[in-house]
Amino acid sequence: MNCEYFGKCASCTLYNKTYKEQLEYKINIEKTRFKDFLPSNFEVYESEEQNFRYKAEFRLWKSFTNDNKLKLSYAMIDFDKKALEINTCHIVSLDIKELMPKLLACILEDDILSFKLYGCEFLNSTKGETILTLIYHKKLDAKWIEKTKDLELKLNIKIVGRSKKQKLVLSDDYINEVLSINNKDIKYIYKENAFSQANTKVNIKMIEWIINNATLSNDLCELYCGSGNFTIALSPYFRKVLATEISKTSIQTAKINCELNAITNIKFARLSSQEFAQAYSKERKFRRLEDINVDISSYDFSSILVDPPRIGLDNETIQFIEHFEQIIYISCNTLSLYENLLSLSKNYNIKHFAFFDQFAYTKHIETIIILEKKAKK
C-alpha cells in the first residue's frame, strides 16, 4: 500500500515495510514471545492490504487559505503528537474513503454544520450502510437537525450528532451487516458508539477458525460477549449458551441479533466476569440471573470463551475458567495473553494457536488460542 502520509501519520507505525514484511516482523516478535507455548503448526491469517477498516474516527481541522477562506481537513496525530492534516485515508473501507471528501465539501458550504464541529466517526458495513457521528462543542438545535437531515439524504447515510450530554439520532443509530460464516449468512446490527470489530473480513476468519478448530459440544459459557459477535455464530453448534457482558447497550443489541437470526438457545446476563464466577460457585445470588430465568446448575458446560479487554484476565477469573475442559481465549494484547498463559499452561495444553492481522501496519495483532485441560495423573 502506498500512502502519502506514511512516516507522518502515527496511526500506521510500521510504515516503512511492505504488507508482507510488516506481518512477518510482527509474527517474528510473537514467535519469540511465545517460544515456550507456540506449537509448530500455528496459523497466521492476513488482512487485505488496504481498505480494511470499517470503523474510523478523525478530528476535523479548520484552517484558512492565503486569501482567508475557511479550509476543512481531517486530522490524525503525527509522530510528534501534533495534528497532521490529511485529505484521504487508504486503510479505511472504500465506502468511507469515498465519503470523506464529499462530507468535507458539504460541511464547508454550511456555517451551521461547520460551526464548532470537532470530530467525526464512521461506521460502515460490507453491505454499503454507513453511519456517521458528528461531534460538536456546542448544543445542537432545531436548525442543526434541519440541515443534517438534508445532509443524510444527500450523502445517503445515517447521521448521529453528539455534544456534551446530548445525542441526536436523525434516523437510526445502527447499521445492518450480514457476515457469511462458512457459507452461512448471519445477520447483525452494529450500534453507533458501541464496540464492533474494525476489520470485518478478518473478523469473519476469526469466527470461522473457532468453529473449525474448537470442540463444539454440550453448553458454552462466554465472558465479555459484547453484542454477540462470536455468540450468535457459535450458538448453533451448542445445546445452550450463557453469555455475560456488563454493558446494557451491548446486551440489548445482542438480543436483537438473536431475533434477526431466529436463535433461541442463548441467555445474556449482565454480569462482570467476577460476578459470574461468584454465581457459578454459589457464593452469591444475583437477581439479574433470576430475572432472565437462568439456573446455572442446569447447564452442562464443556467450553468457555473469553474475549477480555487489553488488560487480560485477572487472577480470580483465571481460577474460575479452569473449571472448564476447553478454553477459547481471544486476545487483543499479546503481552497480557502471555502473562495469563503462564498460569493457564500449568493445567492446560495448547491445542490450537492462530494470529489474525486485524490492524495492519501497526504492532498490534489479534490472537486466538484453544486450550484443553490436561489429563489427571
Report DSSP state, residue 29: H
pLDDT tens for residues 54-108? 999 999 999 888 788 888 999 999 999 999 999 999 999 999 999 999 999 999 9
3-state secondary structure of 180: strand
Q: Taking a C-beta distance cutoff of 8 angstroms, is the pair 263, 211 a contact? A: no
CATH number for the region 19-49+199-373 comes to 3.40.50.150
C-alpha cell belonging to residue 277? 464466577
CA distance linking residue 339 with residue 162, whole number of Å: 39
The per-residue b/e assignment along 249-276, b for 16 or more CB within 10 angstroms, e otherwise, is: ebbebbbbbbeebebeebbbbbbebebb
The pLDDT value given to residue 63: 86
Is residue 377 over pLDDT 80?
no
CA distance linking residue 45 with residue 366, whole number of Å: 10
Active site (annotated) includes residue 366: yes
CA distance linking residue 227 with residue 196, whole number of Å: 8
Q: Using the structure block, give the residue that is written with the C-alpha cell 443489541.
A: 253
CA distance linking residue 216 with residue 235, whole number of Å: 10
CA proximity to 302, closest of 352, 371, 350, 361: 371
Q: For 55-174, which CATH class?
A: mainly beta
Exactly one of 43, 85, 106, 332 is catalytic; which is it? 332
pLDDT tens for residues 295-353? 999 999 999 999 999 999 999 999 999 999 999 999 999 999 999 999 999 999 999 99
CA distance linking residue 80 with residue 357, whole number of Å: 26
- Do the two domains 19-49+199-373 and 55-174 of this chain adopt the same fold? no
Q: Where are the domains of the chain?
A: 19-49+199-373, 55-174
The pLDDT value given to residue 66: 79
CB-based contacts of 7, cutoff 8 Å, min separation 6: 15, 16, 79
Give, to the nearest 10 degrees, the angle between helix 334-344 and helix 19-33.
Answer: 30
Report DSSP state, residue 160: E
Using a pLDDT cut of 90, give the percent of the chain over it: 95
pLDDT tens for residues 199-226? 999 999 999 999 999 999 999 999 999 9
Report DSSP state, residue 90: S
CA proximity to 145, closest of 113, 192, 108: 113
pLDDT tens for residues 25-36? 999 999 999 999
Q: How many other β-carbons are positioned within 10 Å of the β-carbon of residue 109?
A: 10
CA distance linking residue 255 with residue 202, whole number of Å: 24
Which residues are registered as beta bridge partners of 356?
45, 366
Q: How many other β-carbons are positioned within 10 Å of the β-carbon of residue 159?
A: 24
Exactly one of 129, 177, 275, 366 is catalytic; which is it? 366
